[in-house]
Amino acid sequence: IEQTNSSESDGNIPKRQRLTRASTRLSQSSQDLKRAADHDESPPLTPTGNAPSSESELDISSPNASHDESTAKDQANRDSDKDLSHRPKRRRCHETYNFNMKCPTPGCNSLGHLTGKHERHFAVSGCPLYHNLSADECSSLQVKAVSREKQEEEVKEENNSRHATRHQTPTLKQSRYKEQVSEMRKGRNSGLQKEQKEKHMEHRQTHSNTREPLLENITSEYDLELFRKAQARASEDLEKLRIQGQITEGSNMIKTILFGRYELDTWYHSPYPEEYARLGRLYVCEFCLKYMKSQTILRRHMAKCVWKHPPGDEVYRKGGISVFEVDGKKNKIYCQNLCLLAKLFLDHKTLYYDVEPFLFYVMTEADNTGCHLVGYFSKEKNSFLNYNVSCILTMPQYMRQGFGKMLIDFSYLLSKVEEKVGSPERPLSDLGLISYRSYWKEVLLRYMCNFQGKEISIKEISQETAVNPVDIVSTLQSLQMLKYWKGKHLVLKRQDLIDEWKAKEIKRGHSNKTIDPSSLKWTPPKGT
């Protein structure tokens, strides 16, 4: 019996080795199948309809294990390909979609698009709910978009095939189409019935400005269809600009503004209303600062606008330069529009609508068409910290021409009239800090040049120039004119800096970009 068992065991060794090799190959093939299944996000199915959890579920007891292995592998691949083909594909969105953004229309889930070509929307222009479209109408948008593209391609091909002559007779197809259009437009002036008017009024009272007004029965079906096509095309153009990165959600969507005869590139985001903020370009009246959506609206407004200068009192005039004092309480709309305009070019500005506690001093340059906005600064009516400037801006088209220093000098001139020491409100922007440092340096060097005494006092400088002592000390330190010696602070009169300033003044010559105190006609407001 022992010999028989030993012989049987010896005879089984090659068979076990063959089974081991076959099981190894099967394990490798199953791992490859699992990797492919993980890549496709679903496991391949076996002929029984279940996914193999381990290699023990496969039949490896047959002597022809290698043949069974290849057969099982081919069958599994065929079945997996077959099942994967029936599995619904994952819907992919463009990489620029930001799923944290939401459509501003109340009750909208941001799904769907007016054109039917996109799966999501983030603006009112592409919102089906805003345009009063139902679920069935939204499902047919894709079909309409395809048919619209085919019609446009046919029209292009037909136009290209014809000769480009000016007085060419219309084709038979065009004549029939014109007759159909005339027939469809016959009933467009019939007007709304009583029930339709009530329905329209109820819709407007229910949704107000959050939905588009009902357009059915207002005009002919043909004209309404043309209007819908124009809406879809405009929405598609906005979507293309957004995908290209020219319009981005959650950031500054106003890229340029048309202001007078200038087209200005914006620097920062400004909280204009959403219907204006989503436009790529904004049109602003340079006199009343009203903002509009299109060139046509601006042209009509300019024909009716009677403003040629800012509202308020003109407190300074010399040559073509004027300064107007505008009260934020009396001219609230103008001051709010001015703050919204300024935010396009200022990063740290936070005041937009609460303008009543402030006075705005607007500098203009006059010509035969009116007084054009150069810049402005705002000032609190009652400042406990004696700030003489809350916000200051020079328009980009007037930068690097000396108008910024004129605004700063004018603010300190008002502080001198009030017999106060002033300072700008912190924090200063980068451009603001550069302008103020340059102004303080010029004021100190002019004072040093005209000073003839031996001892100088920072307090005396502050009283004569109306500059805060803290600003004087920081400027002297930056110029290396303040030293500490034997327990005392000494102000050094650096002749090299004074000579350099004199040379610049001579080279600059007599400039009209200076404030003349004699041209100021102003008294401090009561209560300040």
Q: How far apart are CA 407 and CA 388, in angstroms?
A: 11
Asked about 221 being catalytic, the answer comes back as: no
Residue with tokens 């209303």: 273
Supply the pLDDT for residue 148: 66
Mean pLDDT computed over 143-148: 68
Sign of the alpha-carbon dihedral angle for 288, 292, 296, 301: negative
Phi (first) and psi of residue 517, to 5 degrees: -60, -30
* pLDDT > 60? residue 119: yes
Q: How far apart are CA 215 and CA 224, in angstroms?
A: 8
Q: 249, 314, 418, 425: which is the annotated catalytic residue? A: 425
Mean pLDDT computed over 50-78: 48
pLDDT band at residue 286 using 50, 70 and 90 as cut-offs:
very high
pLDDT tens digits for 196-220? Answer: 778 878 877 787 777 888 877 777 7
* pLDDT > 70? residue 63: no
Supply the pLDDT for residue 239: 74
Mean pLDDT computed over 426-452: 87
CA distances in angstroms from 490 to 419, 428, 456, 483, listed in the order given: 27, 28, 9, 5
Share of the chain above pLDDT 90, in %: 30
Supply the pLDDT for residue 199: 80
Mean pLDDT computed over 272-285: 87
pTM above 0.85, yes or no: no
Q: What is the DSSP letter of 103?
A: -
Q: How far apart are CA 30 and CA 523, in angstroms?
A: 92
pLDDT tens digits for 384-427? Answer: 888 999 999 999 999 989 899 999 999 999 999 998 998 998 88
Supply the pLDDT for residue 161: 60
Instruction: Please give the mean pLDDT across all residues of the chain.
Output: 76
pLDDT tens digits for 248-257? Answer: 544 446 889 9
Mean pLDDT computed over 81-85: 49
Supply the pLDDT for residue 201: 82
Supply the pLDDT for residue 488: 81
pLDDT tens digits for 230-250? Answer: 888 877 777 776 666 555 544
Q: How far apart are CA 466 and CA 461, in angstroms?
A: 8
CA distances in angstroms from 3 to 8, 15, 16, listed in the order given: 8, 19, 20
Mean pLDDT computed over 131-135: 72
pLDDT tens digits for 368-390? Answer: 999 999 999 999 998 888 899 99
Supply the pLDDT for residue 32: 57
Q: Is 115 helix (H, G, I), strand (E, B) or coil?
A: coil
Helix residue ranges per DSSP H, 451-494: 458-465, 469-478
Supply the pLDDT for residue 155: 67
What are the b/e assignments for 396-411, b being 16+ CB within 10 Å?
eebeeeebbbbbbbbb
H or E segment to which residue 157 belongs = helix 141-161
Name the more confident of 383 and 338.
338
Q: How far apart are CA 411 and CA 516, in angstroms?
A: 13
Mean pLDDT computed over 49-67: 43
* pLDDT > 80? residue 526: no
Residue whose C-alpha is closest to residue 392's, from 427, 442, 444: 427
* pLDDT > 60? residue 69: no
Mean pLDDT computed over 69-83: 55
